[in-house]
């Protein structure tokens, strides 16, 4: 076959497959009604609609720093004051943000599942706490949480909702305030158990996910009969592993993302547009 014709046929087939999956609300409604174990995997896209910056990738700057370069154990060892200022800024943004309709729809779906004696859980790559504030209870936070700190010595984890996280960080973290004097280590957040230096409870680049958290997430994914992929590219670990494993078991995967095309041609459904609009519509929730 002529290579040009072959390529044309392949592209045409791909387009037909994509159109069959795009925005099929009626088809998804039938699948949703039959599902007994639902898992939602959420990423930065769902919180971007609440004004949470996406630091990964181009443009992810805080002051003159690539934000991802501060999210490492090496950066914290070298300059804990600077890293804590960055996370004070992130905490301020997250604590002042409000859950959007996508977060709220998932919390309502969880309530509906409980009434029907079905299972539902959110597995999130986000650290902003918006799912919890929206009312979700069954949440697995893969990458930690901004409202928690962990001791660098005894590894004690505690919830810290103080703003600022400690007095020395008051009025610090503004992206435009450059060349401030570093905060002394003794004045940075401390562990309430052993009084050692604490750090944000965040899984940084170069660190492994908590094995217990991963095991819980893996069990949820392996037992679900419907997987929702919301606001994530599905090409970054662990989304890159979770969704294909659901498809391999012959179970449906529905993607909600701003992109017009599915991240994976094997996804059963793809809903393009803002998650705060498409997700409530697909779930039949009027907000």
The residues annotated with a catalytic role in the active site are 143
Q: Do 35 and 117 form a contact (C-beta atoms < 8 A)?
A: no
**What gap in Å lies between CA 272 and CA 226, rounded to an integer?**
18
Which 3 state secondary structure label does DSSP give 64?
coil
**What gap in Å lies between CA 267 and CA 168, rounded to an integer?**
49
Helix pair angle (275-283, 101-115), 10° resolution: 20
Q: Binding-site residues, please?
A: 87, 90, 125-128, 151, 154, 191, 194, 231-233, 257-259, 275
**What gap in Å lies between CA 217 and CA 238, rounded to an integer?**
10
Q: Binding-site residues for substrate, please?
A: 87, 90
DSSP characters for 161-223?
A: --SSSSGGGTT---TT--SPPPPPGGGS-B-TTT--BEEEEE--TT-PPPHHHHHHHHHHHHH
Q: Do 253 and 243 form a contact (C-beta atoms < 8 A)?
A: yes
Which 3 state secondary structure label does DSSP give 149?
strand
Give the rounded distance of the alpha carbon of 220 from its chain centre: 16
Which 3 state secondary structure label does DSSP give 26?
helix
Q: Binding-site residues for NAD(+), please?
A: 125-128, 231-233, 257-259, 275
C-alpha pair distances (Å), 216 with each of 24, 59, 85, 190, 223: 31, 33, 32, 29, 11
């Amino acid at each position: 076959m002529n290579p040009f014709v072959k390529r044309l046929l392949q592209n045409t087939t791909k387009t037909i497959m994509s159109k069959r999956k795009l925005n099929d609300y009626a088809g998804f409604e039938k699948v949703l009604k039959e599902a007994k174990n639902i898992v939602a995997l959420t990423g930065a896209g769902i919180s971007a609609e609440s004004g949470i910056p996406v630091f990964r990738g181009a443009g992810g700057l805080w002051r003159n720093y690539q934000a991802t370069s501060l999210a490492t154990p090496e950066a914290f060892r070298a300059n804990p004051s600077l890293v804590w200022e960055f996370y004070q800024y992130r905490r301020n943004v997250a604590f002042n943000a409000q859950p959007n309709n996508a977060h709220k729809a998932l919390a309502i779906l969880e309530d509906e599942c409980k009434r029907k004696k079905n299972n539902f859980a959110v597995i999130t790559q986000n650290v902003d706490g918006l799912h919890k504030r929206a009312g979700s209870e069954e949440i697995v936070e893969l990458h930690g949480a901004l409202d928690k700190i962990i001791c660098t010595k005894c590894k004690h984890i505690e919830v810290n909702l103080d703003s600022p996280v400690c007095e020395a960080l008051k009025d610090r973290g503004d992206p435009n305030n450059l060349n401030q004097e570093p905060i002394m280590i003794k004045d940075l957040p401390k562990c309430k158990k052993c009084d050692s230096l604490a750090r944000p409870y965040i899984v940084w680049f170069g660190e492994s996910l908590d094995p217990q958290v991963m095991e819980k997430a893996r069990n949820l994914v392996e037992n679900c009969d419907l997987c929702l992929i919301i606001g994530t590219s599905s090409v970054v670990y662990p989304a890159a592993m979770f969704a294909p494993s659901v498809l391999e078991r012959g179970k449906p995967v529905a993607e909600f993302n701003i992109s017009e095309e599915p991240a994976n041609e094997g996804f059963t459904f793809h809903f393009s547009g803002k998650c705060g609009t498409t997700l409530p519509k697909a779930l039949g929730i009027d907000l």
